[in-house]
Amino acid sequence: MLRWHSVRRKQHQQLQAELSSGAASMLSAPESRRVSRSMSVKAPTASEYMPLSVADKPLTLTVSTSHSIDPNEPIAALGGLTPTKEGRVAALRRRSSMVRDKWATKMEFLLAVVGYAVDLGNIWRFPSVCYKHGGGAFLIPYFIMLMIGGLPMFYMELVLGQFHRSGCVSIWRKVCPLFRGIGYGICCICTFIAIFYNAIIAQAVYFAIVSLSKIWDSEVPWASCGNPWNTPRCSDDLNVTISRNGTPLTTPSEEYYLYKVLEVQKSTGFDDLGGVKTSMAVCLLAVFIMVYFALWKGPQSSGKIVWVTATAPYIILSILLIRGLLLPGAKNGLYYYVTPDFEKLKDPAVWSAAATQIFFSLGPGFGVLLALSSYNDFNNNCYRDAVTTSIINCATSFFSGCVVFSTLGYMSLLTNKPINEVVGEHDASLIFIVYPQALATMDYSCFWSFIFFVMLITLGIDSTFAGIEAFITGFCDESRFLSKNRKWFVLVICIIYYFLSFPAISYGGQFVIPFLDEYGVSLSVLFIVTCEMIAVCWFYGVDQFSKDIRAMLGFYPGIYWRVCWTCSPVFISVIFIMTVYNSSFKPIQMASYTFPWWSVILGWFLRLLSVLAIPVFAIIYLLSGTGTLYERFRWAITPQQRRNSATSLAADPTQIIDSSLLDPIHTLTPV
């Protein structure tokens, strides 16, 4: 713990006498001059740290991990007394647990990062992208993009959060103040994601409750037609897709999802969402209750939740894989999944898809990695964490693909369709229509359905509370009032997000979710990450960033990391430009429905809310400076050092001890 120790009057007079009689002897034997402050003494004000004359500087800076002082520990003196080499290293490697919470164990942090990175996208997005772009051959560009782009960016965000111990908003003061708008743009994106992502989890909660309520029955409600919500187009025969008069037929699971769960018949489109379904509102409330109790105490509460939410999916995925491999047709599904088509590697779209997939899979740029790593110990080995969690994430994507395609092979055999026609037109159809229909044909279908949807809930819940944690941490770091009243702040945010999510759980929610996903996240987060990489790699500098790593871990990053970081802005800029090129100003089209023209205007307005935060705050920051435009620009790209108050020093000792002092550390001479 880094702490400034004030002395009482009697002790102060004693130290003054000793300093005047022999300061040199005090420096040679610092262990005899340690004075510890009682916990009952209040923290001094900033005025106590005004510059003093050399004769009036009795205060000392001591570094300890508790309120008791180690007499063998070197000291760093205040003002005129230069800190020793050991004191500098100790000051950089120790943080105050009184000011900022920390993870109880290293495993809690790893599980939190894995739980964030492994989400619903690993179940539906990676398998479909893989088989659409060459099957097993897609793994080649996928791992190349992982090594040159995904992993370096992932490692960078862990380092930034751990070194500066700040969330997505306040960290840019210490990196490049000109780009402070990045933090507010991230908060906008976190809000959009929370609105629609929790609605998807609420649908999984609905399915899980229904499956549990029917656990003693022979079949799930979507196993057959003839129910009140079914239409004449429903067919129990999965092999028949078109009626005799040419009308397309639907499966029982499709009609259950559309007409029972979502009740889309009560909405005519994006401009007529209808009301809010009560049962879905209750399920959404259950989701936010879980989110609140995961976040209300910060890492103290979320660190306990991830032991369940991050490990349960792997247990259930293993069970479902074993069950899927025993189904007829599973071999065909796996063969279709991994069979390489090397001709597709010549298509630039495949490489673009690989880069986009690895980026959204690992999740840099959403502020989550900054928030989670900011609760680490200063000298935690985040290098090992980055490599480990990246490998786990990519392996989980491939593993979940085996689970999905073994079941799709079984459905292909049942429906007598090619595998590429088994999956519906949108991503949600895989987990809410196709897979549930396969489960309905199995023995003990209610049990298999229940554990499948529990897996979806656990996959989604730790990702969503990690995203909201990025928002919470960002603003708590900006305000001591919010930090002290974190429980109430989290409650207010959860209530606001709950009501903002109502459009996504309305009868027309199927139109709101893809709309927010398209306009609120994809292009905006790519632009923000591009600016983030430019700010860190080019303005803050790879050299200074490497010194920060040396200060924490004791070694410099290798040439591979430095080259990748230098080129990262170019890498992510190419992805951003490709995405902009492929974007359209036409309304979104879904099956037989086209969104109204004004949805494009609304969508770009939401998109610009997060994008324009960066240039707007940059302009405001430049206008607040003094001097010529060049001087203002130089000032705006220079990391700020906060005033050395008791709070700022305890929260961030790197403000007074720069990591550049440690380069190279063996050249420092003791004093």
Least confident stretch, 98-102, 305-309, 458-462, 562-566: 98-102
Higher pLDDT, 545 or 356: 545
> With 60 as the cut, is the pLDDT of residue 601 above it?
yes
Least confident stretch, 16-30, 448-462, 574-588: 16-30
Residues of the binding site? 115, 117-118, 122, 361, 393, 459, 462-463
Q: How many CB atoms lie within 10 A of CB 216?
A: 6
- Are 444 and 451 in contact by the 8 Å Cβ rule? The answer is no
- Between CA 362 and CA 390 the distance in angstroms is 7
Least confident stretch, 186-200, 375-389, 428-442, 489-503: 428-442
- Are 405 and 333 in contact by the 8 Å Cβ rule? The answer is yes
Least confident stretch, 404-408, 460-464, 666-670: 666-670
For 396-464, the three-class secondary structure string (H helix, E strand, C coil) is HHHHHHHHHHHHHHHHHHHHCCCHHHHCCCCCHHHHHHHHHHHHHCCCCHHHHHHHHHHHHHHHHHHHH
- Between CA 283 and CA 285 the distance in angstroms is 5
Least confident stretch, 40-44, 101-105, 167-171: 40-44
> With 90 as the cut, is the pLDDT of residue 60 above it?
no
> With 50 as the cut, is the pLDDT of residue 340 above it?
yes
- Between CA 588 and CA 505 the distance in angstroms is 19
Residues of the binding site for Na(+)? 115, 117-118, 122, 361, 393, 459, 462-463
> With 80 as the cut, is the pLDDT of residue 168 above it?
yes
Question: At 298, which amino acid appears?
Answer: G
- Between CA 284 and CA 21 the distance in angstroms is 71
- Between CA 275 and CA 397 the distance in angstroms is 37
Return the DSSP state at 82. P
- Between CA 436 and CA 453 the distance in angstroms is 9
61 three-class SS: strand
Least confident stretch, 186-200, 236-250, 394-408, 594-608: 236-250
Give the model confidence (pLDDT) of 120-155 as tens digits.
888 877 887 887 787 778 888 888 888 888 899 999
DSSP string, 301-335: HHHHHHHHHTTHHHHHHHHHHHHHHTSTTHHHHHH
- Between CA 454 and CA 516 the distance in angstroms is 25
Band (pLDDT 50/70/90 cuts) for residue 424 is low
How far from chain centre, in Å, is Cα 289?
20
Burial of residue 582, with CB atoms counted within 10 A of its CB: 0-12 exposed, 13-18 middle, 19 or more buried: exposed
C-alpha distances (whole Å) from 404 to each of 320, 444, 452 are 9, 19, 11
209 contact partners, CB below 8 Å, separation of at least 6: 283
- Are 498 and 285 in contact by the 8 Å Cβ rule? The answer is yes
577 contact partners, CB below 8 Å, separation of at least 6: none
Q: Where are the domains of the chain?
A: 2-82, 106-615
Pairing of strands 60-63, 2-5: antiparallel
Question: At 323, which amino acid appears?
Answer: R
Band (pLDDT 50/70/90 cuts) for residue 427 is low
Band (pLDDT 50/70/90 cuts) for residue 240 is confident
Q: What is the pLDDT of residue 23?
A: 39
* Mean predicted confidence (pLDDT) in 412-431: 74
631 three-class SS: helix
Band (pLDDT 50/70/90 cuts) for residue 592 is confident
Q: What is the pLDDT of residue 536?
A: 94
Q: Rounded to the nearest 5°, which phi and psi values hold at 77?
A: -80, 155
234 contact partners, CB below 8 Å, separation of at least 6: 225, 249, 250, 251, 252, 255
- Are 305 and 462 in contact by the 8 Å Cβ rule? The answer is yes
Report the predicted TM-score, pTM, of the whole model to 2 decimal places: 0.79
Band (pLDDT 50/70/90 cuts) for residue 86 is very low
Band (pLDDT 50/70/90 cuts) for residue 58 is very low
43 three-class SS: coil
- Between CA 186 and CA 157 the distance in angstroms is 14
Band (pLDDT 50/70/90 cuts) for residue 257 is very high
179's tokens: 């780009």
Q: What is the pLDDT of residue 298?
A: 86
Q: How many CB atoms lie within 10 A of CB 51?
A: 8
- Between CA 561 and CA 567 the distance in angstroms is 10
Q: What is the pLDDT of residue 99?
A: 62
638 three-class SS: coil
* CATH number of this structure's domain 106-615: 1.20.1740
> With 90 as the cut, is the pLDDT of residue 280 above it?
yes
Tally of residues, the chain: 671
- Between CA 510 and CA 515 the distance in angstroms is 9
C-alpha distances (whole Å) from 12 to each of 17, 59, 60 are 9, 9, 11
